[in-house]
């Protein structure tokens, strides 16, 4: 096998060179197509059934409902079947919104006296049944998200006052309150819904277990729960027709098993969590291609409960930060991917424009600082070498989602390092449901390890760190400030960051906010949780990760060798 | 016979009811079914769910309500996927039944073959080797066996023998978009079925060997041999048949073990069957699914035990069921 | 646990009663028969050595199982690290040996607790019969119907995965199979003449149970106790593999395999060693169990 594989990869390499040569040759006359539109169309073979691995399966595919919050449902089915107003494309080093194929050019934005966005819908845009996509679909979408029951998250849509659908080709959206992240609306995790099919129906019942309409390149043909999701081309798609006959996502929920399946050739591509054995194996060399990107919408941090002993003391939070060698932790976890330095802001990489990337850089391993800060705060080391104050020890319960090997490993390193500095760290890991649904909202934790995953390019940082969003009776306990951050000078900065329509003003506010967060050490950033995409040489076409849309949003351009 | 079966079934009912109540109580005490709704921005969701499940009422009342609906055929919906539990069970059960079926067939065949062979060739080198292997099979944690099997069959063997294609698959029961009984199915079946049955093959073959030795030393075998019946005929006509009888009871008892083994097997080989459904449901505190799982498994075990009794009485006419 | 018991100890429960109470002189007979069983002797020696080495680890294992070298990462076995290192650069040999402390402790503790409880419960149920007996039989029925591993997973989910809880939960299920065996023994022994005789001279029930009945059941009790060690170790490792068992930072062999389940293609040493230790331990315990069975009951066939 080894020998024949080599021969194959040599062939593939040669083929690859020809492809590059071809695309270079034709690049001159096509010019501005950008990364997604390389002129390989003539080279990409027609037909074939592609099998990919999916690590999770959505609980349901009624995207608006609270059961559909899972990223995997979005990456596999949503982006391929639901029309959206904006795409996210690579823009220099970063990522930017660009109007999707649904729209006729950039929508018009008015800000005075009210925020009004006018979307012009392409006349080619049709649903899979041939009916045109209209402004009524925009209106229906907004109505469902704001008035429906059991909605995942109506943020942004609640700012909308009305959607005018008098002209089917033009949707005029009027906001009652300014919403800076408007480009994430009518898309994001939701998409746009076909009013002519769903109007008057029970949307949840019609969609939850699968739906057969589509406004994207693919149609959901079958969803055999627990085993596979099958997509077939949407013949009526007005953009580029898929070349493959079908794409099947095989559901393999165990990262290790998924990885084994890829390395044995059972599936052609996987998008696994960056578990240690995966990173190790990439490092040791596996067949096929891999790309890993730290340019993600993720931010993994040691999230501290600013309201619970002992992290209710700034000195203790800082001392704890100085007890860790974060660079070593990150190198141990992701060194195999070339990521060797800790992340130093609580914003994810894709929000670089609003971020002070070095805000937390001063928090490096410094045991003297630990001693100074702790003794200054009235702590003394007891007989076991653990800090103690008024009879209470600096014991920290460190919680993460159980079953995640990488996070458990991270915990083991933190326990060891913080232990050296006199903090007693214990663990009590919980299921994701309990962790995110109970412990974090209730503030029933001291230190947590998890990643915030952003699904839009626009910051909504105030949701996370403004004092009015601490879960309380005022916000029906639905506030997302689980760290109980209460820093008065932070609130106005984050409000500006979230709500201003002036990009420069937002950037300054964001950078200042980062400084304030670091100064108050509201939590300790660790890493941007790199996205890893692995695919075999059999896949031909522009395979690339997209931090928002995921890696499967351009499968209509893929082929199978 | 009919009354025997009826009585056995009637005795089982209270046992299953008690077990299902304990499970209900346990899960309700451990999990808050509204926890996962907390991230929703809609505060009425939790209240509605609380009312729907009657969470404000005492647990026996909740259980009574659930039981009433369950008996009527409404098995509830999963609080994770909102899917009717009956659909989930039907889907999972089909995969599991395949595994169990092949597991029993393979185990019984191998165990009887090994057991009889070992007994007939008692104290020869093949007997020692097979006995040693069955000791190892019994002592081996099945999940470790499964991982080793993947390691060897999917990676090491193709590497050592320079194979172009790995001989077996280890994800699911079919390749994507394939179904039916074909080579693809068999390639997928080998490793999970071996993992599921390795311990059982070990213990059944030891049992079968002992039973066979008992039979071979029995008077009627010696009589038959003395009458001049050929050795092979004696072994198969009288020996194997009589030695199978005790194995049948052991097999029935071990059906529960097979269901337990499914938990790890389906996990390792990504098979969407009852074992995986149970583990997923337990992690989420998905009470309707857990209850349905337990009752279906209990019915399976009870039916298999009854079946074993019946077969037993057919094979051994001296036994009367009463 | 009954379900798993059937796997590793089929036949143990089907023991015929020892014909008579073994008189003192039979001890020598028993010992001779046991020593005659070479595999059992070999198994016993290995087990004893294993327990001594594992629990005396701090006296002889050169490396600290907790000492990390995160930048070193996973290394294959070498002269310096006999079993290589794990992903945090910890010495894998030291980790396997120290993890044995948890696994072996659980095995032994579960066997002791479930044997004591099971023998008492079985003796009482068999001796007095009636309601007590009915309750015992129905409770054990309950656990024959639902797979033990599932019950254990649910229980551990509820009570958390500390070693004490795991021991109690495993023992909570394990005592039943022993109780059933002992009950069967008691039923056949209690009609024997020497029990009648004891009763006739006015011995109390407690005295009859402890002095006359239990000693006559010693064979099956000891055999099942031995097998209970093996069952407990395998069950614990299976639960840990499913994520319901011992929680970190405590580490058992099952726990290590849970961490190594991705190592089917690369760094397989992480997968091989902990499993090998479980295999050897269980194998040897089963050998000893077989030897004991033959020694107590020479008629039973191997």
Q: What is the C-alpha separation between B165 and B174, in angstroms, rounded? A: 17
Shortest Cα–Cα distance, B146 to chain C (Å): 10
Q: What is the C-alpha separation between A191 and A78, in angstroms, rounded? A: 7
pLDDT reading at A164 higher than 80? yes
- Which B positions 87-126 lie with beta carbon below 8 A of chain A? 88, 91-92
State both tokens at A11: 């062939």
Cβ-based contacts under 8 A for chains A and B: 141
DSSP string, B215-259: HHTSHHHHHHHHTT--HHHIIIIIIIHHHHHHHHHHHHHHHHHHH
pLDDT given for residue B256 in this prediction: 74
Could you tell me the strand order of the sheet in which A160-167 lies?
A108-110, A116-120, A170-175, A160-167
Closest chain B residue to A438, measured at CA = B35
pLDDT reading at A486 higher than 90? yes
Q: Could you tell me if residue C216 is inside a domain?
A: yes
pLDDT given for residue C115 in this prediction: 94
Q: pLDDT tens, position by position, for chain C (302 residues)?
A: 333 333 333 333 344 444 555 555 678 888 888 888 888 999 999 999 999 999 999 999 888 888 888 888 888 999 889 999 988 889 999 999 999 999 999 999 999 999 999 999 888 888 888 888 888 887 777 777 777 888 888 888 778 778 888 999 899 888 888 888 888 888 888 778 888 888 888 888 888 888 888 888 888 888 889 989 999 999 999 998 888 888 777 889 998 998 888 888 888 899 999 999 999 999 999 999 989 988 887 665 44
Q: What is the C-alpha separation between C115 and C107, in angstroms, rounded? A: 12
Q: What is the C-alpha separation between B159 and B153, in angstroms, rounded? A: 10
A contacts of B82 (beta carbons < 8 Å): 59-60, 67, 208
Residue ranges in A128-187 assigned as alpha helix (H): 135-147
pLDDT given for residue A438 in this prediction: 80
pLDDT given for residue A561 in this prediction: 85
pLDDT given for residue C129 in this prediction: 82
pLDDT above 70 covers a percentage of chain A that reads 93
Report whether B144 contacts B198 (CB < 8 A). no
Q: How many residues does chain B have?
A: 322
State both tokens at A198: 């769903």
Q: Rounded to the nearest 10 degrees, what angle do helices B85-120 and B274-284 cross at?
A: 130
Q: What is the C-alpha separation between A355 and A124, in angstroms, rounded? A: 39
Report whether A311 contacts A304 (CB < 8 A). yes
Q: What is the C-alpha separation between B140 and B131, in angstroms, rounded? A: 14
pLDDT reading at A35 higher than 60? no
Q: What is the C-alpha separation between B227 and B236, in angstroms, rounded? A: 16
Can you give the C-alpha Rg of chain A in angstroms? 25
CA A52 from chain center: how many Å? 20
User: How is domain B84-315 classified at the CATH fold level?
Assistant: MetI-like fold (1.10.3720)
Report the SS3 class of residue A361: coil
pLDDT given for residue B3 in this prediction: 80
Q: Beta partners for B95?
A: none
Q: How many residues does chain C have?
A: 302
State both tokens at A242: 């898929």
Could you tell me the strand order of the sheet in which A289-293 lies?
A269-270, A531-535, A289-293
Indicate the residue of B38, B172, B276 with minimum beta-carbon distance to A438. B38
pLDDT reading at A133 higher than 70? yes
Asked if C71 lies within 8 A of A416 by C-beta distance, the reply is no
Q: What is the C-alpha separation between A48 and A380, in angstroms, rounded? A: 68
A-interface mutation test, from C265, C267, C269, C270, most A Cβ less than 10 A away = C265
Report whether A207 contacts A194 (CB < 8 A). no
Compute the CA torsion angle B126, B127, B133, B135 (nearest 10 deg): -170
Q: What is the C-alpha separation between C302 and C297, in angstroms, rounded? A: 11
Report the SS3 class of residue A221: strand
pLDDT in tens, A227-285: 899 999 999 999 999 999 999 999 988 887 888 888 888 899 999 888 888 888 787 77
CA A545 from chain center: how many Å? 12
Indicate the residue of B82, B159, B176 with minimum beta-carbon distance to A67. B82
For the stretch C81-98, what's the b/e string if a residue is b when 16 or more beta carbons lie within 10 angstroms of its beta carbon? Answer: bebbbbbbbbbbbbbbbb
Number of H helices, E strands in chain B: 13, 0
pLDDT given for residue B40 in this prediction: 60
State both tokens at B168: 């077996």
pLDDT reading at A39 higher than 80? no
Indicate the residue of A257, A284, A413 with minimum beta-carbon distance to C266. A284
Q: Looking at A38-42, B221-225, C18-22, C262-266, which range is the least confident one?
A: A38-42
Mean pLDDT within A364-379 = 94
Q: What is the C-alpha separation between B62 and B54, in angstroms, rounded? A: 6
**Best CA proximity match to A462, nearest among A502, A492, A432:** A492
Q: Looking at A151-155, A264-268, A322-326, which range is the least confident one?
A: A151-155
Asked if B267 lies within 8 A of A254 by C-beta distance, the reply is yes
pLDDT reading at A302 higher than 80? yes
C contacts of B136 (beta carbons < 8 Å): 279, 283
State both tokens at A509: 């506010």
pLDDT reading at A15 higher than 80? no
Asked if B80 lies within 8 A of A59 by C-beta distance, the reply is yes
Q: What is the C-alpha separation between A388 and A392, in angstroms, rounded? A: 5
Does C165 contact chain A (CB < 8 Å)?
Answer: no
pLDDT given for residue C7 in this prediction: 36
DSSP string, A429-455: -B-HHHIIIIIHHHT--SEEEEEEE--
B contacts of A49 (beta carbons < 8 Å): 176-177
pLDDT given for residue C21 in this prediction: 53
Q: Beta partners for A91?
A: A94
Q: Could you tell me if residue C20 is inside a domain?
A: no
pLDDT in tens, A76-85: 999 999 999 9
Report the SS3 class of residue A185: coil
Does B42 contact chain A (CB < 8 Å)?
Answer: yes
Q: Could you tell me if residue C274 is inside a domain?
A: yes
The CATH number assigned to the domain holding C243 equals: 1.10.3720.10
Neighbours of chain A (3+ CB pairs under 8 A): B, C
Does C70 contact chain A (CB < 8 Å)?
Answer: yes
pLDDT given for residue A502 in this prediction: 86
- Which B positions 136-155 lie with beta carbon below 8 A of chain A? 150, 154-155
Closest chain B residue to A222, measured at CA = B177
Whole-number mean pLDDT of chain B? 85
Residue ranges in A350-397 assigned as alpha helix (H): 367-376
Indicate the residue of C66, C262, C266 with minimum beta-carbon distance to A275. C262
Mean pLDDT within B181-188 = 90
Indicate the residue of C10, C145, C282 with minimum beta-carbon distance to B206. C10
In this prediction, residue B314 has a pLDDT band, given cuts at 50, 70 and 90, of: confident
Could you tell me the strand order of the sheet in which A298-304 lies?
A424-427, A395-400, A447-453, A298-304, A523-527
- Domain carrying residue C230: 104-302
Instruction: Name the more confident of A384 and B179.
Output: A384
Instruction: Name the more confident of A45 and C144.
Output: A45
Shortest Cα–Cα distance, A9 to chain B (Å): 14
State both tokens at C119: 């023998």
Q: Could you tell me if residue C80 is inside a domain?
A: no
User: Is residue A289 exposed (0-12), middle (13-18) or buried (19+ Cβ within 10 Å)?
Assistant: middle
Does B241 contact chain A (CB < 8 Å)?
Answer: no
pLDDT given for residue B38 in this prediction: 64
Shortest Cα–Cα distance, C196 to chain B (Å): 32
pLDDT given for residue C300 in this prediction: 53
- Which A positions 52-91 lie with beta carbon below 8 A of chain B? 59-60, 66-67, 69
Instruction: Name the more confident of A517 and C24.
Output: A517
pLDDT reading at A40 higher than 70? no
Cβ within 8 Å of residue C67, ≥6 positions away: C90, C91
Cβ within 8 Å of residue A268, ≥6 positions away: A50, A51, A52, A262, A535, A536, A538, A539, A560
- Which A positions 435-494 lie with beta carbon below 8 A of chain B? 436-438, 441, 476-478
Neighbours of chain B (3+ CB pairs under 8 A): A, C
pLDDT given for residue A79 in this prediction: 94
Asked if B272 lies within 8 A of A49 by C-beta distance, the reply is no
Q: How many residues does chain A have?
A: 561
Asked if A225 lies within 8 A of B91 by C-beta distance, the reply is yes
| Domains defined for chain A, CATH in brackets | 1-55+217-291+533-561 (3.40.190.10), 81-208 (3.90.76.10), 298-527 (3.10.105.10)
Does C276 contact chain A (CB < 8 Å)?
Answer: no
Indicate if the alpha-carbon torsion angle A498, A502, A505, A506 is positive or negative. Answer: positive
Closest chain C residue to A404, measured at CA = C259
pLDDT given for residue B191 in this prediction: 95
Instruction: Name the more confident of C273 and A33.
Output: C273
Indicate the residue of A151, A224, A257 with minimum beta-carbon distance to B42. A151
Mean pLDDT within B179-189 = 89
Mean pLDDT within A467-489 = 86
Shortest Cα–Cα distance, C127 to chain B (Å): 24
Q: What is the C-alpha separation between A84 and A103, in angstroms, rounded? A: 9
pLDDT given for residue C238 in this prediction: 92
The count of domains in chain C is 1
Report whether C35 contacts C228 (CB < 8 A). no
- In this structure, how many other beta carbons lie within 10 angstroms of the beta carbon of residue C211? 12
**Best CA proximity match to B300, nearest among B267, B271, B260, B268:** B260
Report whether A408 contacts A277 (CB < 8 A). no
Q: What is the C-alpha separation between A274 and A292, in angstroms, rounded? A: 9
């Amino acid at each position: 096998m080894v020998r024949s594989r080599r021969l194959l990869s040599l062939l593939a390499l040669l083929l690859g060179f020809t492809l590059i040569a071809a695309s270079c040759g034709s690049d001159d006359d096509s010019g501005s197509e950008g990364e997604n539109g390389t002129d390989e169309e003539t080279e990409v073979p027609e037909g074939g059934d592609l099998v990919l691995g999916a690590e999770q399966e959505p609980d349901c595919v009624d995207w608006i409902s609270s059961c559909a919050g899972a990223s995997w449902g979005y990456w596999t089915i949503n982006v391929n079947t639901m029309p959206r107003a904006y795409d996210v494309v690579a823009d220099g080093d970063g990522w930017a919104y660009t109007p999707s194929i649904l729209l006729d050019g950039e929508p018009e934005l008015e800000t005075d006296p009210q925020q009004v966005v006018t979307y012009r819908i392409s006349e080619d845009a049709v649903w899979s049944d041939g009916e045109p996509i209209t402004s009524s679909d925009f209106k229906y979408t907004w109505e469902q998200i704001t008035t429906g029951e059991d909605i995942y998250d109506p943020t942004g849509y609640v700012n909308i006052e009305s959607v005018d659908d008098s002209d089917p080709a033009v949707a005029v959206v009027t906001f009652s309150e300014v919403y800076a992240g408007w480009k994430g609306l009518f898309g994001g995790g939701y998409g746009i819904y076909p009013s002519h099919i769903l109007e008057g129906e029970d949307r949840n019942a019609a969609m939850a277990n699968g739906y057969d309409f589509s406004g994207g390149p693919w149609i959901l043909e079958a969803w055999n729960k627990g085993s596979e999701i099958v997509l077939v081309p949407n013949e009526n798609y007005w953009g580029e027709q898929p070349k493959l006959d079908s794409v099947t996502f095989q559901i393999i929920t165990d990262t290790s098993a998924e990885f084994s399946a890829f390395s044995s050739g059972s599936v052609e591509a996987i998008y696994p969590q960056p578990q240690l054995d995966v990173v190790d194996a990439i490092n040791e060399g596996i067949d096929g291609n891999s790309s890993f990107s730290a340019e993600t919408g993720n931010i993994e941090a040691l999230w501290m409960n600013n309201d619970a002993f002992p992290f209710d003391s700034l000195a203790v939070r800082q001392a704890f930060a100085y007890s860790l060698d974060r660079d070593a932790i990150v190198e141990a976890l992701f060194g195999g991917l070339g990521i060797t330095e800790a992340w130093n802001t609580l914003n994810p990489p894709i929000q670089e424009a609003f971020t002070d990337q070095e805000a937390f850089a001063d928090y490096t391993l410094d045991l003297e600082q630990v001693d100074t800060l702790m003794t200054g705060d009235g702590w003394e080391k007891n007989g076991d070498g653990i800090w103690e104050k008024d009879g209470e020890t600096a014991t920290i319960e460190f919680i993460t989602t159980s079953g995640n090997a990488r996070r458990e490993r991270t915990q083991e390193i933190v326990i060891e390092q913080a232990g050296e500095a006199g903090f007693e760290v214990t663990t009590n890991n919980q299921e994701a449901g309990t962790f995110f649904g109970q412990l974090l909202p209730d503030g029933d934790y001291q230190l947590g390890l998890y990643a915030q995953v952003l699904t839009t390019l626009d910051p909504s940082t105030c949701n996370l760190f403004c004092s009015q969003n601490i879960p309380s009776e005022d916000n029906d306990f639905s506030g997302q400030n689980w760290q109980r951050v209460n820093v008065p000078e932070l609130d106005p900065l984050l409000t500006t960051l979230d709500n201003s329509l002036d990009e420069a003003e937002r950037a300054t506010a964001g950078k200042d906010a980062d400084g304030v967060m670091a100064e108050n050490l509201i939590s300790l950033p660790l890493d941007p949780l790199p996205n890893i995409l692995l695919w075999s040489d059999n896949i031909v076409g522009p395979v690339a990760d997209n931090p928002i849309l995921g890696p499967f949003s351009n499968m209509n351009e893929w082929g199978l060798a | 016979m009919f009354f025997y079966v009826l009585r056995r079934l009637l005795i089982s009912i209270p046992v299953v009811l008690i077990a299902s109540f304990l499970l209900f109580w346990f899960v309700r005490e451990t999990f808050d079914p509204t926890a996962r709704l907390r991230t929703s921005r809609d505060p009425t969701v939790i209240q509605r769910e609380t009312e729907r499940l009657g969470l404000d009422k005492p647990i026996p009342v909740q259980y009574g309500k659930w039981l009433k609906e369950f008996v009527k055929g409404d098995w509830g919906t999963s609080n994770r996927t909102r899917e009717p539990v009956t659909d989930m069970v039907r889907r999972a059960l089909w995969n599991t039944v395949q595994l169990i079926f092949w597991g029993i067939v393979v185990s019984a065949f191998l165990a009887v073959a090994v057991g009889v062979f070992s007994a007939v060739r008692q104290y020869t080198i093949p007997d020692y080797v097979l006995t040693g292997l069955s000791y190892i099979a019994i002592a081996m944690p099945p999940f470790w066996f499964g991982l080793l099997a993947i390691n060897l069959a999917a990676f090491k063997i193709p590497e050592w023998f320079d194979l172009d294609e790995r001989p077996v698959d280890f994800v699911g029961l079919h390749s994507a978009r394939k179904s039916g009984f074909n080579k693809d199915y068999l390639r997928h079946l080998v490793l999970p079925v071996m993992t599921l049955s390795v311990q059982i093959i070990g213990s059944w073959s030891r049992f079968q060997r002992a039973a066979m030795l008992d039979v071979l030393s029995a008077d009627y075998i010696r009589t038959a041999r003395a009458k001049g019946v050929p050795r092979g005929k004696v072994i198969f006509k009288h020996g194997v048949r009589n030695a199978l009888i005790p194995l049948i009871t052991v097999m029935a008892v071990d059906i529960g073990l097979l269901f337990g083994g499914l938990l790890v097997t389906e996990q390792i080989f990504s098979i969407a069957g009852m074992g995986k459904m149970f583990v997923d449901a337990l992690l989420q505190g998905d009470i309707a699914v857990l209850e349905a799982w337990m009752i279906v498994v209990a019915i399976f075990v009870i039916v298999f035990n009854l079946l074993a009794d019946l077969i037993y009485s057919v094979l051994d006419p001296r036994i009367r069921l009463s | 646990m009954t379900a798993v018991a059937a796997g590793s100890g089929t036949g143990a429960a089907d023991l015929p009663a020892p014909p008579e109470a073994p008189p003192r002189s039979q001890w020598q007979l028993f010992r001779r028969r046991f020593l005659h069983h070479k595999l059992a002797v070999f198994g016993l020696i290995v087990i004893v050595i294993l327990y001594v080495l594992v629990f005396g680890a701090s006296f002889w294992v050169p490396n600290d199982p907790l000492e990390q070298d995160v930048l070193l990462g996973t290394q294959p076995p070498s002269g310096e690290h006999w079993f290589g290192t794990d992903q945090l650069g910890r010495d894998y040999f030291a980790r396997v040996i120290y993890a044995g402390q948890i696994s072996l402790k659980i095995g032994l503790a579960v066997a002791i607790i479930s044997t004591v409880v099971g023998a008492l419960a079985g003796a009482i149920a068999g001796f007095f019969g009636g309601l007590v007996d009915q309750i015992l039989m129905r409770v054990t029925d309950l656990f024959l119907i639902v797979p033990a591993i599932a019950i254990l997973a649910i229980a551990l989910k509820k009570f958390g995965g500390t070693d004490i809880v795991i021991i109690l939960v495993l023992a909570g299920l394990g005592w039943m199979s022993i109780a059933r065996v002992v009950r069967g023994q008691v039923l056949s022994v209690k009609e024997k003449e020497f029990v009648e005789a004891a009763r006739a001279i006015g011995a109390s029930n407690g005295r009859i149970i402890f002095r006359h009945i239990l000693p006559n059941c010693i064979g099956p009790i000891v055999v099942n106790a031995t097998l209970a060690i093996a069952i407990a170790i395998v069950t614990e490792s299976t639960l840990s593999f499913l994520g319901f068992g011992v929680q970190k930072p405590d580490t058992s062999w099952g726990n290590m395999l849970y961490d190594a389940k991705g190592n089917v293609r690369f760094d397989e040493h992480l997968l091989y060693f902990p499993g090998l230790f479980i295999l050897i331990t269980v194998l040897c315990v089963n050998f000893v169990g077989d030897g004991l069975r033959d020694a107590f009951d020479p008629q039973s066939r191997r």
